[in-house]
């Protein structure tokens, strides 16, 4: 109870834009949960096979991948409010097409456009929260954002499971519609019930737009030139080019590049993504086919693990206040490694269930802290683009290792993928700790951490971004 009261107090201290962003995310989380549960079932009810559903998901991911770098540039240039409003409008329009269209071509096109718009929402998250917060409150802000999204998504998943069953009991909704209206809704009861539930999910998301319009404008202002920069601007063009090239060569030396925050954090994301892709997508198969659990039991286990993860995420800022962000991230994630190995070699279902809760909680509880640090380690004007790099690195690595993990499981079994993932995690955690362990002094409350280009070495932000 004390923890909840503390977070309520912290919410009241957050900046206005941050509070409105949390409210908007909470309102849209229910819709996300409904879609996660029902959309694949809707396509199946329309008669599509798993291979086409996989193609739809791939096209959506392709849209995200293509747009994620332009999204980062737009976030840095136009600010969070404009990006959130227009990308949400685009998702609403294209998402409605996903619910109404039933032919393959329109479904694929609308999925691609949803992916493009989603990239902007995905990238804007960390830079927007960092810009609209102080260092002292960021740990609580990022953690609360994760917990609210997780909680409302679970609520949406529960609601999504019930809605189609309820719609099928309403006879007039399942009755045949006039021929002129057949373009809008499916004719069969099963796909129509899913379709109505998904359309209702879109209506539920409508109130999430209101907080976005209430935000204050956060469009970045033109940078103020320092005296040396003003002198340089008055130089002849040829002299300016020579000076810029000389500075660029000095700032992008190989040693400086290899240890720059953007490079190190990207490598960490790649290693974690490679490890996660090896086994995370196959956890349901591991429980059901290898340990003998039922699919219903795994649903309960996974839901319980998410709830436990949410609780530990709320505790993460308290640990960070005592230990520092980097120590908290590395300590909690390192604890998860032996738990992962025991899960991979154990055949006792009750033990694995307990360890599954603990592993997911310890590995993921500091995600918010990691997001905070990965933004604070980059100068303000480059955060959107940096977050794009992080997301592409992690998702691409996971996409590469996922089929490799399936191949290993099919040929050798489950234990090797857990061992390989544990090794990758240890390397990533060690790299993060040894590169940034001396940066803990920057976590002091009230001190803006690496907020301007003057507070870090220029080589830290140069070539990759």
Per CATH, the number for 2-214 is 1.20.1250.20
Q: What is the DSSP letter of 221?
A: P
Domain ranges of the chain: 2-214, 252-460
- DSSP assignment of 258-305 equals HTSHHHHHHHHHHHHHHHHHHHGGGHHHIIIIIS---HHHHHHHHHHH
C-beta of residue 38 within 8 angstroms of C-beta of residue 194: yes
Q: How far apart are CA 425 and CA 420, in angstroms?
A: 9
What is the three-class DSSP state of 49?
coil
Nearest to 76 by CA among 212, 223, 257, 267: 223
Taking the CB of residue 241, how many other CB atoms lie within 10 A of it?
11
- The reply to whether 2-214 and 252-460 are identical in fold is yes
Exposure b/e, 318-352, CB count within 10 A at least 16 = b: ebbeebbbbbbbbbbbbebbebbbebbeeeeeeeb
Q: How far apart are CA 270 and CA 249, in angstroms?
A: 27
pTM beyond 0.75, yes or no? no
H/E stretch holding 314 reads helix 295-323
**C-alpha separations of 101 from 42, 106, 238, 372, 450 in Å:** 11, 6, 57, 40, 48
Nearest to 80 by CA among 307, 378, 380, 368: 380
Fold of 252-460: Growth Hormone; Chain: A; (1.20.1250)
- Tens digit of each residue's pLDDT, the chain (465 residues): 556 666 777 777 788 888 999 999 888 888 888 887 778 778 878 888 766 776 777 788 778 778 877 887 787 777 788 888 999 999 999 988 888 888 888 889 998 999 899 888 888 887 888 888 887 777 788 888 888 887 887 788 778 778 888 888 877 777 777 666 666 777 787 888 888 888 898 898 889 889 988 888 766 555 454 555 555 555 554 555 454 445 544 545 556 556 677 888 889 999 998 998 888 877 877 887 788 877 567 767 877 787 888 888 888 888 888 888 889 999 999 999 999 999 999 889 999 999 999 999 999 888 888 888 888 777 776 676 777 788 778 877 877 787 788 888 878 888 999 999 999 999 999 999 998 887 654 444 333 333 332 332 322 322 223
CA angle 264, 455, 327 (to 5 degrees): 50
């Amino acid at each position: 109870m004390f923890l909840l009261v503390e977070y309520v107090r912290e919410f009241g201290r957050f900046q206005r834009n941050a509070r409105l962003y949390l409210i908007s995310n909470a309102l849209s989380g229910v819709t996300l949960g409904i879609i996660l549960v029902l959309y694949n079932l809707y396509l199946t009810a329309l008669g599509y096979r798993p291979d086409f559903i996989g193609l739809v998901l791939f096209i959506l991911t392709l849209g995200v991948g293509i747009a994620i770098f332009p999204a980062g540039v737009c976030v840095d240039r136009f600010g969070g409010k404009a990006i959130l409003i227009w990308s949400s409008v685009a998702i609403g329009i294209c998402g409605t097409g996903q619910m109404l269209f039933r032919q393959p071509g329109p479904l694929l096109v609308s999925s691609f456009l949803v992916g493009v718009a989603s990239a902007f929402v995905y990238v804007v998250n960390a830079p927007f929260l960092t810009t609209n917060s102080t260092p002292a409150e960021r740990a609580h802000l990022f953690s609360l954002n994760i917990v609210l999204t997780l909680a409302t998504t679970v609520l949406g998943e529960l609601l999504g499971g019930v809605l189609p069953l309820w719609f099928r009991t309403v006879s007039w909704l399942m009755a045949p519609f006039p021929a002129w209206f057949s373009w809008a809704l499916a004719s069969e009861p099963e796909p129509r019930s899913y379709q109505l539930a998904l359309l209702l999910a879109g209506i539920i998301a409508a109130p999430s737009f209101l907080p976005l319009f209430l935000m204050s404008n956060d469009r970045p202002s033109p940078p103020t030139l320092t005296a040396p920069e003003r002198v340089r601007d008055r130089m002849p063009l040829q002299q300016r080019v020579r000076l810029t090239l000389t500075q660029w060569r000095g700032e992008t030396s190989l040693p400086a590049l290899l240890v720059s925050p953007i490079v190190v954090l990207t490598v960490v994301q790649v290693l974690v993504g490679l490890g996660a892709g090896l086994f995370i997508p196959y956890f349901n198969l591991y429980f059901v086919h290898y340990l003998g659990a039922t699919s219903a039991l795994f649903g309960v286990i996974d839901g319980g693990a998410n709830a436990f993860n949410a609780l530990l995420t709320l505790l993460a800022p308290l640990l960070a206040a005592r230990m520092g962000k980097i120590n908290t991230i590395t300590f909690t994630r390192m604890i998860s490694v032996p738990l992962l190995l025991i899960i991979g070699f154990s055949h006792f279902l009750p033990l694995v269930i307990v360890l599954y809760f603990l592993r997911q909680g310890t590995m993921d509880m500091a995600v918010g802290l990691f997001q905070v640090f990965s933004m604070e380690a980059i100068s303000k004007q480059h955060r959107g683009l940096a977050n794009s790099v992080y997301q592409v690195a992690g998702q691409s690595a996971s996409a590469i290792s996922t089929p490799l993990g399936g191949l290993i499981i099919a040929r050798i079994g489950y234990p090797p993928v857990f061992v390989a993932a544990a090794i990758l995690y240890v390397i990533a955690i060690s790299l993060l700790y040894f590169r940034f362990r001396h940066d803990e002094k920057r976590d002091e409350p009230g001190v803006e951490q690496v907020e301007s280009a003057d507070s870090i070495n220029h080589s830290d932000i140069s070539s990759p971004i």
